[in-house]
Amino acid sequence: MRKSHEILSSVDKARKAALIVLLSILAVVAIFPVVYITLGSFKSRTELLIGGANIFPSVFHFENYVNAWKQANFAIYTGNSIIIASGVMILSLFFSTMAGYVFSRTDFPGKKLIFGTFVMFLFINVGSVSIRPLFELATKTHMNRSLISVILFSAGMGQATYIFLARGYVNSVPKELDEASKIDGCSFFGTFWRVIVPVLQPLIATIALLSFRQGWNEYILPLVFTMTNDKMRPLTVGVNMLKNSGDGAASWEIMFAGATIAVIPMIIVYVSFSKYFMNGSTSGAVKG
């Protein structure tokens, strides 16, 4: 029995060690591009083009950030990115939480079919193929002249995931709370606003973070919809165009600096909501 216990203990330790090694490798693979871009933003163009094994810059060129800020119109593009990301976040929070509440608490004809359709779109991604019909729709409705079309279309693309999480989280909320609120005279919407929403704070933080990231990182839609108006471009489009700001050669150092600046707001948002994000995403995915 003692030998058997020792063997099981050794196997368990070997599994944990293998898991640690695997997670460490995945962490390095995930973090390395960010570290490379951040350190590369301080290099000169020549040093980047020559390459080499040393990822640390021989001399730190802080002027790359000044050039990136000026050439990419960061003041304007940052404002556009904030407008898009905030708009996507607000719409996603409003529609997904209400839809999750309705799918969880009510019965109506076609409920399973509609929810099944949303779940199906979790596994379907038409990608850039949808850009042409969306652009045609925006043109015919005269929404292509502002960022409204980008916000609406971007928010719509993420609803399947958010509604799935919202329904799962609402399912974990005891129905006795709904019944108690109805006894107190609350309507269906009143119950949602006064009882359910306060309980959904972890989920709301999760959807807010995911949708804000989605709007902030959106590239294809803004690229197509702002081709004729550079003042509507967000940071993702502006940073990519920094690559061609040099004289005949790609300005990778300025592009890296711009990319580093563009990542900072997203890191701040994640750090602020990370605790709620982990709680809300786990509850919404497992329960219900």
**Residues 162, 275: Cα–Cα separation, whole Å:** 18
What is the token pair recorded at 127? 């990608």
**Residues 271, 288: Cα–Cα separation, whole Å:** 28
**Alpha-carbon distances, residue 244 vs 54, 202, 240 (angstroms):** 25, 42, 8
pLDDT computed for residue 97 by the predictor: 92
Checking if the pLDDT of 90 tops 90, the result is yes
Q: Which SS3 state, helix, strand or coil, does residue 106 take? A: coil
| Full DSSP string of 225-262 | HTTT-GGG--HHHHHHHGGG-SSSS--HHHHHHHHHHH
Percent of the chain with pLDDT over 90: 11
pLDDT computed for residue 277 by the predictor: 63
**22-45 pLDDT tens trace:** 999 998 888 888 888 888 888 888
Name every residue whose Cβ is closer than 8 Å to that of residue 54 and which is 6 or more positions away in sequence. none
Mean pLDDT of 149-172: 88
Amino acid identity at 18: A
Checking if the pLDDT of 145 tops 60, the result is yes
Residue 12's CB: how many other CB atoms inside 10 A?
10
Checking if the pLDDT of 246 tops 60, the result is no
Confidence of residue 96 (pLDDT cuts 50, 70, 90): very high
Percent of the chain with pLDDT over 70: 86
Confidence of residue 287 (pLDDT cuts 50, 70, 90): very low
Q: Residue 262 class from Cβ within 10 Å (0-12 exposed, 13-18 middle, 19+ buried)?
A: buried
Residues 204 and 277: beta-carbon distance below 8 Å: no
**Residues 255, 275: Cα–Cα separation, whole Å:** 32
**Residues 73, 273: Cα–Cα separation, whole Å:** 29
**175-212 pLDDT tens trace:** 888 888 888 888 888 888 888 888 888 888 888 888 99
pLDDT computed for residue 26 by the predictor: 92
**55-83 pLDDT tens trace:** 888 888 888 888 888 776 778 888 899 99
Query: Of 231, 229, 219, whose CA–CA distance to 80 is shortest?
Result: 231
The 10 Å CB-count burial string (b at 16+, else e) for 205-244 is bbbbbbbbbbbbbbeebbbbbbeeeeebbbbbbbbbbbee
